[in-house]
């Protein structure tokens, strides 16, 4: 089978790795991919966010299946465009992807169908939003309605911060069109858990839960990021709680979307807060998480392609999914300054050495391959052999992932691998999985 992966981050590298392990994939492509994915697939130039370009590439390479990683192409309707072209795709349609594309839609859906979430209101102009804030007080969470690359949720500990957040979203337009509306919701306390399922629109197959680290600094301090690390399983998420979430959140949401004419097929991700009153949905995503995919897919013992095929055929109920008992941990290596401004083009060393360690996988996210500068005669200047080098090309650069018989062992293996890798300004959290291990790592 010829398979095209849409996307070029750490999640897509993990998808490529999982697909490549099975016997059913003959040729793997990715658009745009990255150097890590390039070791497993042929990377194609193109705009992954353009449904028309994805369709054109899929036709050109005669692919049998497209697997979509990021949310933006899904919200833009890439699955719809592929379906119109007669090409199968793993991921929800544009209508179903609204569960992530619009926080207001997701909150209204939850309210209509009794899915547990925080109390909220939606506003399009600042004056009523500010009046509402002065009535309910703080703390609250102010969210841009649309896609904002994981940075559109602002936790506001006091009224002044909440008013400033409304100004930032609705007036200063810090998130562009994603801030056409703002959702203001109550602040919830507890541990956050990422719950996932694969669904064919009827059957729900839960995946192992994970916990991630959104704050940039140790001890959960500093601004939110796209994710500085993750681990699975989550000790705070016992089987009885997982069963309740499957029934009250995941299956109920799948039924709600189907009832409203938006059948969801693919990976549904519920970000949960485990409050004293029970689990509450913070947000939905319409795709695998990043970096959560990097700790869930390595635990999969079944053939991932078989799971994808069963989803598209509407026969998930017939599939028995097997999981490795191992724990898995991912430590994200980020550029200095992330999530603010940062330098790119910095040489990276030690990736191959780290990858050779037992039970270690290094997933590329923000990397690029830099070709040598050629001299006047076509050779590399300065006597260089002409070999290129791996350099940084994004905020989150690498996801160093390790398996182990338990979380403590997996953490130790991951940080041992991190110690082999270096680039100028490299930043990472040294306390990944601290909530599970009851204390920061040295």
191-318: CATH number: 3.30.470.20
Instruction: For residue range 278-331, list pLDDT tens digits in order.
Output: 999 999 999 999 999 999 999 999 999 999 999 999 999 999 999 999 999 999
Query: CA–CA separation, 220 vs 252, rounded Å?
Result: 32
Instruction: Tell me the pLDDT of the chain averaged across its residues.
Output: 93
Q: Band of the pLDDT at 166, cuts 50, 70, 90?
A: very high
Categorize the per-residue pLDDT at 153 as very low, low, confident or very high, splitting at 50, 70 and 90: confident
Domain 125-180: top CATH class: alpha beta
d(CA 294, CA 329): 8
Phi then psi for residue 67, to 5 deg, are -115, 120
Distant-in-sequence, close-in-space partners of 131: CB < 8 Å, separation ≥ 6? none
CA gap 321, 310 in Å, rounded: 11
Just give the CATH number of 2-91: 3.40.50.20
Which of 158-162, 222-226, 319-323, 357-361 is predicted least confidently? 222-226
User: What is the spatial distance between Cα 263 and Cα 95, in angstroms, rounded to a whole number?
Assistant: 8
Q: Report whether pLDDT(428) > 90.
A: yes
Domain boundaries, the chain: 2-91, 125-180, 191-318, 327-373+388-437
Give the per-residue pLDDT at 441: 44
Contact 364, 348 (CB under 8 A): no
Question: pLDDT by residue (tens digit) across 340-350?
Answer: 999 999 999 99
Percent of the residues in the chain that have a pLDDT greater than 70, as a whole number: 95
**CATH 3.90.600.10 corresponds to the domain 327-373+388-437:** yes
Tally Cβ neighbours within 10 Å of residue 276. 7
In the chain, % of residues over pLDDT 90: 90
SS3 of the chain: CEEEEEECCHHHHHHHHHHHHCCCCCEEEEEECCHHHHCCCEECCCCCCCHHHHHHHHHHCCCCEEEECCHHHHHHCHHHHHHHCCCEEECCCHHHHHHHHCHHHHHHHHHHHCCCECCEEEECCHHHHHHHHHHHCCCEEEEECCCCCCCCEEEECCHHHHHHHHHHHHHCCCCHHHHCCEEEEECCCCEEEEEEEEECCCCEEEEEEEEECCEEECCCEEEECCCCEEEECCCCCCHHHHHHHHHHHHHHHHHHHHHCCCCCCEEEEEEEEEECCEEEEEEEECCCCCCCHHHHHHHECCCHHHHHHHHHHCCHHHCCCCECCCEEEEEEEECCCCCCCCCCCCECECHHHHHCCCCEEEEECCEEEECCCCCCCCCCHHHCCCCCEEEECCCEEEEEEEEECCHHHHHHHHHHHHCCCECCCCECCCCCCHHHHCCCCC
Asked if 25 and 90 count as a contact pair (C-beta separation under 8 A), the reply is: no
Residues whose CB is less than 8 angstroms from the CB of residue 58 and which lie 6 or more positions away in sequence, other chains included: 4, 66, 82, 85, 87
Q: Which three-class secondary structure string do you get for 202-253?
A: CCEEEEEEEEECCEEECCCEEEECCCCEEEECCCCCCHHHHHHHHHHHHHHH
Q: What is the pLDDT of residue 373?
A: 62
Q: What is the pLDDT of residues 182-228, one digit of tens each?
A: 999 999 999 999 999 999 999 999 999 999 999 999 999 998 898 99
Cis peptide before 139 (omega within 30 of 0): yes
| Cβ neighbourhood burial of 19 (10 Å; 0-12, 13-18, 19+) | buried
What are 21-67's pLDDT values in tens digits? 989 999 999 999 999 999 999 999 999 999 999 999 999 999 999 99
What confidence category does residue 383 fall into, taking pLDDT thresholds of 50, 70 and 90?
A: very low
What whole-number distance in Å separates Cα of residue 149 and Cα of residue 258?
27
Maximal CA-CA distance, the chain: 73
| Res. 442: pLDDT tops 90 | no
Q: What tokens were used for 136?
A: 């309910």
Torsion-angle region of residue 192: left (phi > 0), alpha (psi -120 to 50) or beta? Answer: beta
* Two tokens, residue 388: 């290129």
pLDDT at residue 374 tops 90: no
């Amino acid at each position: 089978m010829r398979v095209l992966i849409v996307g070029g981050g750490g999640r897509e590298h993990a998808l490529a790795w999982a697909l490549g392990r099975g016997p059913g994939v003959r040729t793997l492509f990715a658009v745009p991919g990255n150097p890590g994915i390039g070791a497993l697939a042929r990377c194609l130039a193109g705009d992954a966010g353009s449904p028309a370009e994805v369709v054109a590439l899929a036709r050109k390479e005669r692919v049998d299946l497209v697997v979509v990683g990021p949310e933006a192409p899904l919200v833009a309707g890439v699955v719809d465009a592929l379906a119109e072209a007669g090409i199968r795709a793993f991921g929800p349609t544009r209508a179903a992807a609204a569960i992530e594309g619009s926080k207001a839609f997701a909150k209204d859906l939850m309210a209509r169908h009794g899915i547990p979430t925080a109390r909220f209101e939606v506003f399009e102009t600042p004056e009523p939003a500010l009046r509402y804030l002065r009535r309910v007080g703080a703390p609250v969470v102010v969210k841009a309605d649309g896609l904002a690359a994981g940075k559109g949720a602002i936790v506001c500990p006091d009224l002044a911060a909440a008013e400033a957040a409304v100004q930032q979203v609705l007036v200063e337009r810090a998130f562009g069109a994603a801030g056409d509306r703002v959702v203001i919701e109550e602040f919830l306390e507890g541990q956050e858990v990422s719950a996932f399922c694969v669904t064919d629109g009827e059957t729900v197959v839960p995946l192992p839960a994970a916990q991630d680290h959104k704050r940039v600094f140790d001890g959960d301090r500093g601004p939110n990021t796209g994710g500085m690390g993750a681990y699975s399983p989550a000790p705070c998420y016992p089987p009885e709680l997982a069963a309740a979430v499957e029934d009250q959140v995941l299956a109920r949401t799948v039924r709600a979307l189907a009832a409203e004419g938006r059948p969801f097929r693919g990976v549904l991700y519920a970000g949960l807060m485990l409050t004293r009153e029970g689990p509450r949905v913070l947000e939905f995503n319409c795709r695998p998480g990043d970096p959560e995919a990097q700790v869930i897919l390595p635990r999969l013992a079944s053939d991932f392609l078989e799971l994808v095929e069963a989803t598209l055929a509407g026969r998930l109920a017939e599939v028995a999914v097997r999981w490795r008992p191992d724990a898995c941990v991912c430590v994200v290596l980020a550029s200095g300054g992330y999530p603010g401004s940062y330098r790119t083009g910095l040489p990276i060393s030690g990736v191959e050495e780290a990858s050779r360690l037992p039970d270690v996988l290094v997933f590329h996210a923000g990397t690029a391959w830099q070709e040598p500068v050629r001299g006047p005669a076509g050779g590399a200047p300065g006597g260089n052999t002409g070999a290129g080098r791996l350099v940084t090309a994004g905020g989150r650069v690498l996801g160093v992932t390790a398996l182990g018989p338990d979380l403590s062992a997996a953490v130790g293996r991951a940080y041992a691998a991190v110690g082999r890798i270096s680039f100028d300004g490299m930043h990472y959290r040294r306390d990944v999985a601290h909530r599970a291990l009851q204390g920061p790592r040295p």
